Amino acid sequence: MKILITGANGMVARAALEHCRSLGDEVIALTRADLDIADHDAVFASISDARPDAVLNCAAYTDVDGAETDRDSSYHANADGPENLALACKSVDAAFVTISTDYVFDGLKTGFYTQRDTPNPQGVYARSKREGEIRACFAYSRSIIVRSGWIFGKGGTNFLSVMSGILAEGRSIQAIGDAYGTPTYATDLAKRLRALAEADLPCTFHVTNSGSGTSYLGFAEKVCEIGGFDRGLLRPTSKDDLRRPAPRPANSKMACLLSERLGFAPLQNWEDALKEFLA
């Protein structure tokens, strides 16, 4: 396939690039410097020039706390961006996959969120991502929305991705014990993004590693167990104690109603994925 990937310096984008290239795809990887997805004309120019079979939108404004004081940047990248890309994909008849987030849910549910649950995003980042889902689908009914959550992977700068490096240096970390999610390995997500682009089934998918989910503290404990790090370096805390600017769901565990029914095997368990990552 000829695949165009946006946000090509990001964690998921890099995993997607590696996977697509390993399959022999022709990949056009555009960093933010190459293409600002909020720029309507630039998006149309890039896509009409490249004429890809599919676009994987991995670009996003991902600073959840920063979004609270920089609403414009968040909405430009996370709402205008997917809409521009969807319209441009429509104009060249390309499949379109765009990544969304578990944060579209408010976190009040006990158990796993599925596609039957109504989004109720809290905070600017979450609302901008939900807006992006809606606008992409409205612009192009062939849009495929992939909600994922708690992503970790090579090159990632988020807490889950850098945790092992901090612990390896013998430094302590605070880990929240009262927020739960479904960890997802960027490499596994990337493989599924490519498969969904090929299947070209316009739906909202929930894509996470298998297992019963965990808390940040549970994830950190598993990192210590697998990596052989001192568990004494973990300082358990609660989400309220951290007083972060943006609200976050206390529970954002997700399950997919569609993937297995459509023939997609469950992704590996997050603990096995973590072993792979740490190796």
Ligand X SMILES: NC(=O)c1ccc[n+]([C@@H]2O[C@H](COP(=O)([O-])OP(=O)(O)OC[C@H]3O[C@@H](n4cnc5c(N)ncnc54)[C@H](OP(=O)(O)O)[C@@H]3O)[C@@H](O)[C@H]2O)c1
Residue 85 is a binding residue for ligand X (CB under 6 A): no
C-alpha pair distances (Å), 161 with each of 9, 40, 108, 192, 250 = 15, 32, 26, 20, 20
Residue 158 is a binding residue for ligand X (CB under 6 A): yes
End-to-end CA distance of the chain: 30
Which residue in 46, 128, 148, 251 binds ligand X (CB under 6 A)? 148
Which residue in 3, 43, 81, 113 binds ligand X (CB under 6 A)? 81
Residue 209 is a binding residue for ligand X (CB under 6 A): no
Q: Count CA atoms within 13 Å of residue 278 on its CB side.
A: 23
Q: Count CA atoms within 13 Å of residue 41 on its CB side.
A: 0
CB of 230 to ligand X, least distance (A): 25
Q: Which of these ranges, 32-40, 42-50, 114-122, 264-272, lies near ligand X under the rule CB under 6 A? A: 32-40
Go through 14-38 and write b for each residue having 16 or more CB atoms within 10 A of its CB, e for each that does not: bbbbebbeeeebebbbbeeeebbbb
Which residue in 25, 36, 106, 131 binds ligand X (CB under 6 A)? 36
Q: Which of these ranges, 53-61, 84-92, 191-199, 235-243, lies near ligand X under the rule CB under 6 A? A: 53-61
Residue 149 is a binding residue for ligand X (CB under 6 A): yes
Residue 268 is a binding residue for ligand X (CB under 6 A): no
Residue 67 is a binding residue for ligand X (CB under 6 A): no
Q: Active-site residue 125, yes or no?
A: yes
Q: What is the C-alpha separation between 238 and 243, in angstroms, rounded?
A: 9
What three-state secondary structure class fits 59? coil
Binding-residue total with ligand X (CB under 6 A) = 29
Which residue in 75, 96, 105, 150 binds ligand X (CB under 6 A)? 150
Q: Count CA atoms within 13 Å of residue 70 on its CB side.
A: 12
Which residue in 29, 61, 87, 247 binds ligand X (CB under 6 A)? 61
How many other C-beta atoms can be found within 10 angstroms of the C-beta atom of residue 131? Answer: 19
The pair of three-digit structure tokens given for residue 143, joined into one six-digit string: 């849009």
Q: Where in the sequence numbering do the catalytic residues fall?
A: 125
Contact positions vs ligand X (CB under 6 A): 6-7, 9-13, 32, 35-38, 58-62, 76-77, 81, 99, 101-102, 129, 148-151, 158
